[in-house]
Amino acid sequence: DAGVIQSPRHEVTEMGQEVTLRCKPISGHNSLFWYRQTMMRGLELLIYFNNNVPIDDSGMPEDRFSAKMPNASFSTLKIQPSEPRDSAVYFCASSLALAGGGYGYTFGSGTRLTVV
Amino acid sequence: DAKTTQPPSMDCAEGRAANLPCNHSTISGNEYVYWYRQIHSQGPQYIIHGLKNNETNEMASLIITEDRKSSTLILPHATLRDTAVYYCIVRWNYGQNFVFGPGTRLSVLP
Q: Tell me: the pLDDT tens digits for B85-108?
A: 999 998 876 655 788 899 999 999
Q: Report the residue from A42, A48, A104 with minimal CB separation from B46.
A: A104
Report d(CA A96, CA A32) in Å as an integer: 9
A30: helix, strand or coil: coil
The model's confidence at residue A104, banded by pLDDT at 50, 70 and 90, is confident
Give me the phi and psi of A85, to 5 degrees please.
-70, -5
Please, which pLDDT band fits residue A100 given cuts at 50, 70 and 90? very low
Band (A105; pLDDT cuts 50, 70, 90): confident
Residue type, A114: T
Q: Is the CB of residue B53 less than 8 Å away from at least one CB of chain A?
A: no
Distance in Å, alpha carbon of A32 to nearest chain B alpha carbon: 10
Higher pLDDT, A95 or A34: A34
Higher pLDDT, A42 or A101: A42
Per CB-CB distance under 8 Å, the chain A contacts of B42 are 109-110
CA distance, residue B18 to nearest chain A CA (Å) = 22
Q: Nearest-CA neighbor of A37 among B43, B33, B26, B50?
A: B43
Distance, CA of A39 to chain centre:
17
pLDDT number for residue B55: 95
Nearest neighbour of A110 by CB, restricted to B36, B43, B100: B43
Confidence of residue B2 (pLDDT cuts 50, 70, 90): low
Closest Cα of chain B to A18: distance in Å?
A: 24
**What's the pLDDT band for B53 if we cut at 50, 70, 90?**
confident
Q: State how far the Cα of B103 lies from the Cα of B7, in Å rounded to an integer.
A: 7
**Does residue B8 register a pLDDT over 90?**
yes
